[in-house]
Amino acid sequence: MRKIIDLIYKKYKVENIDFRKAPIRIVATYVLFGCFWILFSDRILSMVVVNRDLYMNIQTFKGWFFVFFTAIILYRLILNDFLKINELNTDLLNKKMESKKNLILIEEKNIELERAMNVTNDFFMLITKILKNNHVDDEMLLREVFKIAFSLVKESNFGSAYIVENGKIRYIESIGFHMESLKSLEVSVDKFEFAFNHIKIRNNPEYNIKRRLSDDEYEEYSNKNIKIKQSIYVGISNDDNLYGGFSLDIGADEGVEFSDESIHNLEAFQQLVNGFYKIKKVNDQKNLVQRDIVHSFISALELHDEYTKGHSEAVASYSLKIGELLNLDDSQLNDLYWAATVHDIGKIIIPSSTLNKPDRLTKEEYELVKKHTQIGYDILSKADTLREVSKYVLLHHERWDGTGYPMGLKGDEIPLISQIICVADSWHAMTSDRTYKRKITKEEGIEELKNNRGTQFSPKIVDVFLEII
Protein backbone atom coordinates (compact mmCIF):
# COMPACT_ATOMS: atom_id res chain seq x y z
CA MET A 1 0.00 0.00 0.00
CA ARG A 2 2.81 2.33 1.01
CA LYS A 3 4.58 1.58 -2.26
CA ILE A 4 1.47 2.40 -4.28
CA ILE A 5 1.04 5.72 -2.43
CA ASP A 6 4.73 6.56 -3.01
CA LEU A 7 4.32 5.70 -6.67
CA ILE A 8 1.31 8.01 -7.03
CA TYR A 9 3.11 10.63 -4.96
CA LYS A 10 6.16 10.52 -7.23
CA LYS A 11 4.02 10.57 -10.34
CA TYR A 12 2.01 13.62 -9.34
CA LYS A 13 4.63 15.58 -7.46
CA VAL A 14 5.58 18.42 -9.73
CA GLU A 15 8.23 20.90 -8.56
CA ASN A 16 6.95 22.41 -5.29
CA ILE A 17 3.38 21.16 -5.40
CA ASP A 18 2.68 18.29 -3.06
CA PHE A 19 -0.32 16.63 -4.64
CA ARG A 20 -0.80 14.19 -1.77
CA LYS A 21 -0.82 16.78 1.01
CA ALA A 22 -3.42 19.05 -0.62
CA PRO A 23 -6.35 16.54 -0.54
CA ILE A 24 -5.24 15.34 2.91
CA ARG A 25 -5.41 18.91 4.16
CA ILE A 26 -8.91 19.34 2.68
CA VAL A 27 -10.17 16.03 4.09
CA ALA A 28 -8.57 16.73 7.52
CA THR A 29 -10.26 20.15 7.64
CA TYR A 30 -13.60 18.54 6.77
CA VAL A 31 -13.17 15.81 9.44
CA LEU A 32 -12.11 18.31 12.15
CA PHE A 33 -14.99 20.65 11.34
CA GLY A 34 -17.44 17.68 11.29
CA CYS A 35 -16.21 16.37 14.68
CA PHE A 36 -16.32 19.84 16.19
CA TRP A 37 -19.90 20.29 14.89
CA ILE A 38 -21.10 16.92 16.18
CA LEU A 39 -19.46 17.42 19.60
CA PHE A 40 -20.44 20.99 20.31
CA SER A 41 -23.43 22.02 18.19
CA ASP A 42 -26.10 20.06 20.29
CA ARG A 43 -24.58 21.12 23.63
CA ILE A 44 -24.35 24.77 22.71
CA LEU A 45 -27.88 24.69 21.26
CA SER A 46 -29.41 23.14 24.41
CA MET A 47 -27.62 25.68 26.57
CA VAL A 48 -28.79 28.62 24.51
CA VAL A 49 -32.32 27.55 23.45
CA VAL A 50 -34.76 26.60 26.24
CA ASN A 51 -37.99 26.49 24.19
CA ARG A 52 -38.57 22.93 23.02
CA ASP A 53 -40.40 23.77 19.77
CA LEU A 54 -37.75 26.28 18.76
CA TYR A 55 -35.01 23.76 19.69
CA MET A 56 -36.63 21.15 17.39
CA ASN A 57 -36.90 23.64 14.50
CA ILE A 58 -33.26 24.68 14.80
CA GLN A 59 -32.21 21.02 15.01
CA THR A 60 -33.89 20.48 11.61
CA PHE A 61 -31.91 23.31 9.99
CA LYS A 62 -28.63 22.57 11.84
CA GLY A 63 -27.78 19.78 9.32
CA TRP A 64 -28.35 22.21 6.46
CA PHE A 65 -26.06 24.77 8.15
CA PHE A 66 -23.38 22.13 8.44
CA VAL A 67 -23.60 21.30 4.75
CA PHE A 68 -23.57 25.01 3.84
CA PHE A 69 -20.53 25.89 5.97
CA THR A 70 -18.52 22.84 4.96
CA ALA A 71 -19.31 23.61 1.29
CA ILE A 72 -17.91 27.15 1.74
CA ILE A 73 -14.80 25.90 3.51
CA LEU A 74 -14.19 23.14 0.95
CA TYR A 75 -14.77 25.61 -1.90
CA ARG A 76 -12.14 28.00 -0.48
CA LEU A 77 -9.58 25.26 0.08
CA ILE A 78 -10.03 23.68 -3.37
CA LEU A 79 -10.07 27.10 -5.06
CA ASN A 80 -6.78 28.02 -3.35
CA ASP A 81 -5.12 24.86 -4.62
CA PHE A 82 -6.50 25.28 -8.12
CA LEU A 83 -5.25 28.89 -8.21
CA LYS A 84 -1.81 27.67 -7.15
CA ILE A 85 -1.84 24.98 -9.85
CA ASN A 86 -2.96 27.52 -12.42
CA GLU A 87 -0.17 29.88 -11.39
CA LEU A 88 2.39 27.08 -11.71
CA ASN A 89 0.91 26.02 -15.03
CA THR A 90 1.26 29.58 -16.43
CA ASP A 91 4.79 29.72 -15.09
CA LEU A 92 5.54 26.37 -16.76
CA LEU A 93 4.07 27.54 -20.06
CA ASN A 94 6.21 30.70 -19.95
CA LYS A 95 9.30 28.64 -19.25
CA LYS A 96 8.38 26.32 -22.10
CA MET A 97 8.00 29.29 -24.48
CA GLU A 98 11.32 30.69 -23.29
CA SER A 99 13.15 27.41 -23.83
CA LYS A 100 11.54 27.14 -27.28
CA LYS A 101 12.92 30.59 -28.12
CA ASN A 102 16.33 29.55 -26.75
CA LEU A 103 16.19 26.40 -28.87
CA ILE A 104 15.51 28.45 -32.01
CA LEU A 105 18.40 30.78 -31.09
CA ILE A 106 20.71 27.81 -30.53
CA GLU A 107 19.62 26.33 -33.84
CA GLU A 108 20.35 29.63 -35.63
CA LYS A 109 23.76 29.84 -33.96
CA ASN A 110 24.44 26.24 -34.98
CA ILE A 111 23.63 27.03 -38.62
CA GLU A 112 25.96 30.07 -38.47
CA LEU A 113 28.64 27.94 -36.86
CA GLU A 114 28.24 25.26 -39.49
CA ARG A 115 28.51 27.87 -42.26
CA ALA A 116 31.69 29.30 -40.68
CA MET A 117 33.08 25.75 -40.30
CA ASN A 118 32.37 24.97 -43.95
CA VAL A 119 34.00 28.21 -45.10
CA THR A 120 37.08 27.59 -42.94
CA ASN A 121 37.21 24.03 -44.18
CA ASP A 122 36.96 25.15 -47.83
CA PHE A 123 39.74 27.68 -47.32
CA PHE A 124 42.07 25.21 -45.65
CA MET A 125 41.33 22.64 -48.36
CA LEU A 126 42.34 25.30 -50.88
CA ILE A 127 45.52 26.10 -48.97
CA THR A 128 46.39 22.39 -48.71
CA LYS A 129 45.80 21.98 -52.44
CA ILE A 130 48.05 24.94 -53.20
CA LEU A 131 50.78 23.83 -50.82
CA LYS A 132 50.78 20.35 -52.33
CA ASN A 133 50.81 21.60 -55.89
CA ASN A 134 53.26 24.24 -57.04
CA HIS A 135 51.46 24.78 -60.34
CA VAL A 136 48.34 26.53 -58.95
CA ASP A 137 48.20 29.84 -60.74
CA ASP A 138 47.07 33.10 -59.19
CA GLU A 139 43.91 33.29 -61.29
CA MET A 140 42.68 29.92 -60.08
CA LEU A 141 43.52 30.93 -56.49
CA LEU A 142 41.46 34.13 -56.78
CA ARG A 143 38.51 32.22 -58.31
CA GLU A 144 38.45 29.81 -55.37
CA VAL A 145 38.86 32.61 -52.82
CA PHE A 146 35.94 34.49 -54.41
CA LYS A 147 33.64 31.43 -54.22
CA ILE A 148 34.54 30.86 -50.56
CA ALA A 149 33.92 34.56 -49.72
CA PHE A 150 30.56 34.41 -51.49
CA SER A 151 29.44 31.51 -49.31
CA LEU A 152 30.81 33.30 -46.22
CA VAL A 153 28.60 36.38 -46.69
CA LYS A 154 25.04 35.09 -46.62
CA GLU A 155 23.44 38.39 -47.68
CA SER A 156 25.23 38.56 -51.05
CA ASN A 157 23.40 37.19 -54.08
CA PHE A 158 25.67 38.62 -56.80
CA GLY A 159 29.42 38.85 -57.13
CA SER A 160 32.38 39.10 -59.46
CA ALA A 161 36.13 38.50 -59.32
CA TYR A 162 38.78 40.26 -61.38
CA ILE A 163 42.51 40.57 -61.78
CA VAL A 164 44.55 43.66 -62.55
CA GLU A 165 46.45 43.51 -65.83
CA ASN A 166 48.36 46.45 -67.30
CA GLY A 167 46.43 48.92 -65.19
CA LYS A 168 43.04 47.49 -66.23
CA ILE A 169 40.48 45.19 -64.68
CA ARG A 170 39.89 41.80 -66.29
CA TYR A 171 36.85 39.89 -65.01
CA ILE A 172 37.53 36.18 -64.43
CA GLU A 173 34.43 34.92 -62.58
CA SER A 174 30.95 36.09 -61.70
CA ILE A 175 27.79 34.95 -59.94
CA GLY A 176 24.45 36.34 -61.16
CA PHE A 177 26.01 38.71 -63.73
CA HIS A 178 26.14 38.36 -67.50
CA MET A 179 29.78 37.27 -67.76
CA GLU A 180 30.28 38.18 -71.43
CA SER A 181 29.12 41.75 -70.80
CA LEU A 182 31.58 42.03 -67.88
CA LYS A 183 34.43 40.64 -69.97
CA SER A 184 33.87 43.25 -72.66
CA LEU A 185 34.28 46.15 -70.18
CA GLU A 186 37.44 48.22 -70.34
CA VAL A 187 37.78 49.50 -66.78
CA SER A 188 40.88 51.34 -65.65
CA VAL A 189 42.06 50.27 -62.19
CA ASP A 190 42.29 53.96 -61.15
CA LYS A 191 38.52 54.25 -61.45
CA PHE A 192 37.95 51.11 -59.45
CA GLU A 193 37.51 51.59 -55.74
CA PHE A 194 39.96 49.10 -54.36
CA ALA A 195 41.22 49.16 -50.84
CA PHE A 196 44.51 47.41 -50.28
CA ASN A 197 44.23 46.17 -46.75
CA HIS A 198 40.62 46.75 -45.84
CA ILE A 199 37.26 46.32 -47.51
CA LYS A 200 35.05 49.08 -48.94
CA ILE A 201 31.27 49.17 -48.65
CA ARG A 202 29.25 51.17 -51.18
CA ASN A 203 25.54 51.87 -50.74
CA ASN A 204 24.93 53.23 -54.21
CA PRO A 205 27.22 51.14 -56.40
CA GLU A 206 25.25 51.92 -59.57
CA TYR A 207 26.63 55.46 -59.42
CA ASN A 208 30.19 54.10 -59.24
CA ILE A 209 29.60 51.61 -62.06
CA LYS A 210 28.27 54.43 -64.28
CA ARG A 211 31.26 56.61 -63.40
CA ARG A 212 33.71 53.89 -64.45
CA LEU A 213 32.13 53.23 -67.86
CA SER A 214 31.47 55.17 -71.01
CA ASP A 215 27.79 55.91 -71.82
CA ASP A 216 27.66 53.12 -74.43
CA GLU A 217 29.35 50.64 -72.14
CA TYR A 218 26.98 51.47 -69.26
CA GLU A 219 23.94 51.08 -71.51
CA GLU A 220 25.20 47.69 -72.71
CA TYR A 221 26.00 46.66 -69.13
CA SER A 222 22.67 47.80 -67.63
CA ASN A 223 20.66 46.09 -70.38
CA LYS A 224 22.14 42.74 -69.44
CA ASN A 225 22.56 43.02 -65.68
CA ILE A 226 20.32 43.59 -62.70
CA LYS A 227 20.67 46.78 -60.60
CA ILE A 228 22.73 46.56 -57.42
CA LYS A 229 21.85 48.27 -54.14
CA GLN A 230 24.91 47.53 -51.98
CA SER A 231 28.44 46.28 -52.75
CA ILE A 232 31.56 45.31 -50.86
CA TYR A 233 34.90 45.65 -52.69
CA VAL A 234 37.74 43.45 -51.48
CA GLY A 235 41.26 43.92 -52.82
CA ILE A 236 43.81 41.13 -52.88
CA SER A 237 47.27 42.61 -52.62
CA ASN A 238 50.85 41.85 -51.80
CA ASP A 239 51.97 44.95 -49.88
CA ASP A 240 51.73 47.74 -52.48
CA ASN A 241 51.23 45.42 -55.41
CA LEU A 242 47.50 45.09 -56.12
CA TYR A 243 46.87 41.77 -57.76
CA GLY A 244 43.10 41.73 -58.11
CA GLY A 245 40.00 41.43 -56.03
CA PHE A 246 36.35 40.62 -55.89
CA SER A 247 33.01 42.30 -55.20
CA LEU A 248 30.05 40.88 -53.34
CA ASP A 249 26.74 42.56 -54.14
CA ILE A 250 23.11 42.68 -53.05
CA GLY A 251 20.48 43.10 -55.78
CA ALA A 252 18.24 46.20 -55.72
CA ASP A 253 15.13 44.08 -55.05
CA GLU A 254 16.50 42.39 -51.94
CA GLY A 255 15.28 43.48 -48.51
CA VAL A 256 18.60 42.88 -46.74
CA GLU A 257 21.87 44.71 -46.20
CA PHE A 258 25.34 43.46 -45.27
CA SER A 259 25.34 42.75 -41.53
CA ASP A 260 28.13 43.90 -39.20
CA GLU A 261 28.94 40.25 -38.61
CA SER A 262 29.37 39.55 -42.35
CA ILE A 263 31.55 42.65 -42.79
CA HIS A 264 33.68 41.63 -39.81
CA ASN A 265 34.03 38.04 -41.14
CA LEU A 266 34.97 39.30 -44.59
CA GLU A 267 37.62 41.65 -43.18
CA ALA A 268 39.17 38.75 -41.27
CA PHE A 269 39.00 36.60 -44.41
CA GLN A 270 40.73 39.31 -46.48
CA GLN A 271 43.59 39.52 -43.98
CA LEU A 272 43.95 35.74 -44.11
CA VAL A 273 43.94 35.65 -47.93
CA ASN A 274 46.40 38.56 -48.26
CA GLY A 275 48.73 36.91 -45.74
CA PHE A 276 48.55 33.63 -47.60
CA TYR A 277 48.99 35.39 -50.94
CA LYS A 278 52.28 36.91 -49.67
CA ILE A 279 53.52 33.48 -48.57
CA LYS A 280 52.51 32.01 -51.93
CA LYS A 281 54.42 34.72 -53.80
CA VAL A 282 57.59 33.92 -51.82
CA ASN A 283 57.00 30.21 -52.41
CA ASP A 284 56.39 30.74 -56.15
CA GLN A 285 59.64 32.69 -56.35
CA LYS A 286 61.45 29.85 -54.56
CA ASN A 287 59.93 27.30 -56.94
CA LEU A 288 60.94 29.39 -59.94
CA VAL A 289 64.52 29.48 -58.65
CA GLN A 290 64.39 25.72 -58.04
CA ARG A 291 62.96 25.14 -61.52
CA ASP A 292 65.71 27.31 -63.04
CA ILE A 293 68.42 25.46 -61.14
CA VAL A 294 67.08 22.04 -62.19
CA HIS A 295 66.74 23.14 -65.81
CA SER A 296 70.32 24.46 -65.72
CA PHE A 297 71.45 21.00 -64.60
CA ILE A 298 69.44 19.41 -67.39
CA SER A 299 71.07 21.81 -69.90
CA ALA A 300 74.49 20.84 -68.53
CA LEU A 301 73.52 17.17 -68.93
CA GLU A 302 72.43 17.80 -72.52
CA LEU A 303 75.85 19.24 -73.28
CA HIS A 304 77.43 16.20 -71.64
CA ASP A 305 75.21 13.59 -73.31
CA GLU A 306 74.03 14.51 -76.79
CA TYR A 307 71.20 11.98 -76.76
CA THR A 308 69.48 13.59 -73.76
CA LYS A 309 68.85 16.77 -75.80
CA GLY A 310 65.11 17.30 -75.47
CA HIS A 311 64.78 13.80 -73.97
CA SER A 312 63.98 14.93 -70.39
CA GLU A 313 61.37 17.37 -71.62
CA ALA A 314 59.74 14.77 -73.89
CA VAL A 315 59.68 12.11 -71.14
CA ALA A 316 58.13 14.64 -68.72
CA SER A 317 55.50 15.53 -71.31
CA TYR A 318 54.55 11.89 -72.09
CA SER A 319 54.57 11.05 -68.37
CA LEU A 320 52.19 13.89 -67.51
CA LYS A 321 49.75 12.74 -70.21
CA ILE A 322 49.77 9.20 -68.78
CA GLY A 323 49.38 10.57 -65.24
CA GLU A 324 46.40 12.69 -66.24
CA LEU A 325 44.69 9.72 -67.88
CA LEU A 326 45.26 7.74 -64.69
CA ASN A 327 43.56 10.57 -62.75
CA LEU A 328 46.56 11.20 -60.51
CA ASP A 329 46.01 14.07 -58.09
CA ASP A 330 47.85 17.41 -58.38
CA SER A 331 50.53 16.44 -55.90
CA GLN A 332 51.30 13.15 -57.72
CA LEU A 333 51.38 14.95 -61.09
CA ASN A 334 53.84 17.44 -59.62
CA ASP A 335 56.13 14.65 -58.40
CA LEU A 336 55.76 12.87 -61.73
CA TYR A 337 56.75 15.99 -63.68
CA TRP A 338 59.89 16.58 -61.61
CA ALA A 339 60.91 12.92 -61.47
CA ALA A 340 60.52 12.59 -65.26
CA THR A 341 62.43 15.84 -65.86
CA VAL A 342 65.42 14.79 -63.76
CA HIS A 343 65.27 11.00 -64.27
CA ASP A 344 68.69 10.81 -66.04
CA ILE A 345 70.43 13.50 -63.96
CA GLY A 346 72.84 10.82 -62.64
CA LYS A 347 74.42 10.58 -66.11
CA ILE A 348 76.10 13.92 -65.42
CA ILE A 349 79.09 12.14 -63.86
CA ILE A 350 79.30 9.23 -66.34
CA PRO A 351 82.16 10.01 -68.79
CA SER A 352 80.94 11.81 -71.89
CA SER A 353 83.01 9.44 -74.08
CA THR A 354 80.95 6.49 -72.81
CA LEU A 355 77.58 8.22 -73.14
CA ASN A 356 78.29 9.46 -76.67
CA LYS A 357 80.10 6.33 -77.88
CA PRO A 358 78.92 5.58 -81.44
CA ASP A 359 79.45 1.81 -81.02
CA ARG A 360 77.75 -0.63 -78.70
CA LEU A 361 78.92 -0.36 -75.08
CA THR A 362 81.20 -3.00 -73.54
CA LYS A 363 79.87 -4.91 -70.53
CA GLU A 364 81.94 -2.72 -68.15
CA GLU A 365 80.73 0.47 -69.83
CA TYR A 366 77.12 -0.71 -69.64
CA GLU A 367 77.56 -1.49 -65.91
CA LEU A 368 78.90 2.03 -65.45
CA VAL A 369 75.94 3.62 -67.29
CA LYS A 370 73.54 1.58 -65.13
CA LYS A 371 74.92 3.41 -62.08
CA HIS A 372 73.19 6.63 -63.21
CA THR A 373 70.02 5.68 -61.30
CA GLN A 374 71.89 5.38 -57.98
CA ILE A 375 73.94 8.51 -58.69
CA GLY A 376 70.75 10.44 -59.53
CA TYR A 377 69.19 9.25 -56.27
CA ASP A 378 72.28 10.28 -54.27
CA ILE A 379 72.25 13.78 -55.81
CA LEU A 380 68.52 14.42 -55.50
CA SER A 381 67.95 12.94 -52.04
CA LYS A 382 70.23 15.61 -50.60
CA ALA A 383 67.91 18.42 -51.78
CA ASP A 384 64.92 19.04 -49.47
CA THR A 385 62.45 19.77 -52.26
CA LEU A 386 63.54 16.88 -54.51
CA ARG A 387 63.98 14.17 -51.87
CA GLU A 388 60.47 12.86 -52.54
CA VAL A 389 61.12 12.36 -56.26
CA SER A 390 64.60 10.85 -55.78
CA LYS A 391 63.18 7.36 -55.12
CA TYR A 392 61.20 7.44 -58.39
CA VAL A 393 64.41 8.36 -60.24
CA LEU A 394 66.25 5.49 -58.53
CA LEU A 395 63.66 2.98 -59.75
CA HIS A 396 62.94 4.15 -63.33
CA HIS A 397 64.87 1.21 -64.85
CA GLU A 398 63.08 -1.49 -62.83
CA ARG A 399 61.20 -4.01 -64.99
CA TRP A 400 57.70 -5.38 -64.39
CA ASP A 401 59.07 -8.99 -64.38
CA GLY A 402 61.71 -8.16 -61.73
CA THR A 403 64.78 -8.31 -64.01
CA GLY A 404 65.48 -4.56 -64.01
CA TYR A 405 67.98 -2.54 -61.95
CA PRO A 406 69.14 -1.40 -59.42
CA MET A 407 66.94 -3.36 -56.97
CA GLY A 408 65.17 -5.94 -59.11
CA LEU A 409 61.69 -4.95 -57.85
CA LYS A 410 58.72 -6.71 -59.43
CA GLY A 411 55.19 -5.64 -60.48
CA ASP A 412 53.50 -3.19 -58.13
CA GLU A 413 56.53 -3.19 -55.84
CA ILE A 414 57.74 -0.57 -58.33
CA PRO A 415 56.16 2.85 -57.56
CA LEU A 416 53.53 3.90 -60.12
CA ILE A 417 55.48 7.06 -60.99
CA SER A 418 58.58 4.99 -61.84
CA GLN A 419 56.42 2.60 -63.93
CA ILE A 420 55.13 5.59 -65.93
CA ILE A 421 58.61 7.11 -66.46
CA CYS A 422 59.91 3.69 -67.58
CA VAL A 423 57.34 3.49 -70.42
CA ALA A 424 57.70 7.17 -71.45
CA ASP A 425 61.52 6.95 -71.33
CA SER A 426 61.63 3.75 -73.40
CA TRP A 427 59.17 5.11 -75.95
CA HIS A 428 61.19 8.28 -76.51
CA ALA A 429 64.45 6.27 -76.61
CA MET A 430 63.01 3.88 -79.23
CA THR A 431 61.54 6.59 -81.43
CA SER A 432 64.58 8.97 -81.30
CA ASP A 433 67.95 8.76 -83.02
CA ARG A 434 70.66 7.51 -80.69
CA THR A 435 74.36 7.59 -81.26
CA TYR A 436 74.59 3.82 -81.79
CA LYS A 437 71.25 3.12 -83.51
CA ARG A 438 68.61 4.72 -85.73
CA LYS A 439 65.12 5.36 -84.47
CA ILE A 440 62.26 2.94 -85.15
CA THR A 441 58.87 3.91 -86.61
CA LYS A 442 55.78 4.63 -84.54
CA GLU A 443 54.18 1.31 -85.59
CA GLU A 444 57.35 -0.61 -84.68
CA GLY A 445 57.44 1.22 -81.36
CA ILE A 446 53.81 0.24 -80.62
CA GLU A 447 54.68 -3.37 -81.49
CA GLU A 448 57.67 -3.21 -79.14
CA LEU A 449 55.47 -1.88 -76.29
CA LYS A 450 52.92 -4.65 -76.84
CA ASN A 451 55.65 -7.33 -77.00
CA ASN A 452 57.13 -6.15 -73.69
CA ARG A 453 53.79 -5.58 -71.97
CA GLY A 454 53.93 -7.53 -68.71
CA THR A 455 57.68 -8.29 -68.99
CA GLN A 456 59.52 -4.97 -69.18
CA PHE A 457 56.51 -2.66 -68.80
CA SER A 458 53.49 -2.44 -66.52
CA PRO A 459 50.50 -3.76 -68.54
CA LYS A 460 48.23 -0.99 -67.19
CA ILE A 461 50.66 1.80 -68.16
CA VAL A 462 51.15 0.34 -71.67
CA ASP A 463 47.36 0.20 -72.18
CA VAL A 464 46.98 3.84 -71.10
CA PHE A 465 49.95 4.96 -73.20
CA LEU A 466 48.57 3.25 -76.31
CA GLU A 467 45.51 5.52 -75.99
CA ILE A 468 47.74 8.61 -76.16
CA ILE A 469 50.01 7.83 -79.11
Contact residues: Fe ion, CB under 5 A? 344
**CB of 300 vs Fe ion, minimal distance in Å:** 16
**Dist. CA 30–CA 16, nearest whole Å:** 24
**CB of 311 vs Fe ion, minimal distance in Å:** 9
How far is Cα of residue 214 from the mean position of the Cα atoms in its chain? 40
Residue nearest to Fe ion (CB): 344
- 202 versus 347: smaller Cβ distance to Fe ion: 347
**CB of 397 vs Fe ion, minimal distance in Å:** 6
Cβ atoms of 412 and 454 within 8 Å: the answer is no
**CB of 343 vs Fe ion, minimal distance in Å:** 6
- 222 versus 356: smaller Cβ distance to Fe ion: 356
Nearest CA to 319 among 341, 287, 345, 300? 341
∠178-184-186 over CA atoms, to 5°? 125
- 172 versus 339: smaller Cβ distance to Fe ion: 339
- 153 versus 339: smaller Cβ distance to Fe ion: 339
- 235 versus 346: smaller Cβ distance to Fe ion: 346
**CB of 429 vs Fe ion, minimal distance in Å:** 9
Cβ atoms of 69 and 33 within 8 Å: the answer is yes
- 238 versus 431: smaller Cβ distance to Fe ion: 431
**Dist. CA 181–CA 217, nearest whole Å:** 9
Cβ atoms of 277 and 238 within 8 Å: the answer is yes
- 144 versus 344: smaller Cβ distance to Fe ion: 344
**CB of 351 vs Fe ion, minimal distance in Å:** 16
**CB of 435 vs Fe ion, minimal distance in Å:** 15
| Pairing mode of beta strands 158-165, 200-202 | unpaired
- 245 versus 376: smaller Cβ distance to Fe ion: 376
**CB of 134 vs Fe ion, minimal distance in Å:** 24
